[in-house]
């Protein structure tokens, strides 16, 4: 039999999440989740509780999401604060875009940005050489400095894009 239950408390025991729920009275239940998914529900979420083949043993197989916004073909991964308010998210949209924590700004392709900045540095050096030539022609002395913009510290090696 599958029923619903209210999440009240949780704990970790030997690497397994154990929930204390209210379902016809208080009980504890293990949580089943897809491989690689480690999520901890907030208090008072509605859990889907299923009986196993062992008498009195139950397992949480999911939760009711009261704030679904994903459109057809989309997937959203999110976290909530302790009060149930949205904390952050990754939203894979059906228009081939991905939002990470919002949509107010854009990510950049580091390699292409570095190429553009390096090209701009070369243009600046070229202009400084022209300035040096003009000043020398007028009898002055000007030695252009080097121009090198280092953006390596801005590179995030653990996030890759196409």
- Whichever domain contains 36, its CATH number is 2.40.50
Residue 42 lies in a domain: yes
Give me the long-range contacts of 19-26 (CB less than 8 A, separation at least 24). 19/47, 19/60, 21/47, 21/49, 21/60, 23/49, 23/58
Cα-trace Rg, the chain: 29
Q: Locate tokens 């590179």: which residue? A: 155
| 13, 46: one domain | yes
Same domain for 11 and 49? Answer: yes
Check whether 68 has a pLDDT greater than 80. yes
Q: Is residue 161 part of a domain?
A: no
Q: 70 and 43 in one domain?
A: no
Domain boundary among 90, 106, 122: 106
Owning domain of residue 9: 2-63
For residue 4, pLDDT over 80 is answered with no
* Residue 160 located in a structural domain: no
162 in a structural domain:
no
Residues forming beta bridges with residue 80, ordered by sequence position: 86
How many structural domains are present in the chain? 3
**Confidence bin at 20 (pLDDT 50/70/90):** confident
Q: What predicted TM-score, i.e. pTM, was given to this entire model?
A: 0.69
Domain identity same for 77 and 44: no
If you average pLDDT over each of 38-42, 80-84, 156-160, which comes out highest? 80-84
Say which DSSP state 84 is in. Answer: S
Same domain for 114 and 99? no
pLDDT at 116 over 90: yes
């Amino acid at each position: 039999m599958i029923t619903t239950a209210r999440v009240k408390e949780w704990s970790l025991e030997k690497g397994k999440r154990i929930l204390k729920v209210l379902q016809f009275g208080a009980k504890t239940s293990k949580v089943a989740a897809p491989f690689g998914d480690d999520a901890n529900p907030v208090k008072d979420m509605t859990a889907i509780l299923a009986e196993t083949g062992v008498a009195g043993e139950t397992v949480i197989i999911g939760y009711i999401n009261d704030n679904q916004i994903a459109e057809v073909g989309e997937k959203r991964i999110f976290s909530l604060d302790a009060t149930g308010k949205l904390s952050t998210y990754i939203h894979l949209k059906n228009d081939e875009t991905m939002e990470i924590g919002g949509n107010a700004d854009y990510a950049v392709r580091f390699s292409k940005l570095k190429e553009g900045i390096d090209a701009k540095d070369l243009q600046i050096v070229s202009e400084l050489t022209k300035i040096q030539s003009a000043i020398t022609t007028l009898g002055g002395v000007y030695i252009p400095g080097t121009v090198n913009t280092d953006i390596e510290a801005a590179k995030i090696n653990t996030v890759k894009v196409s």
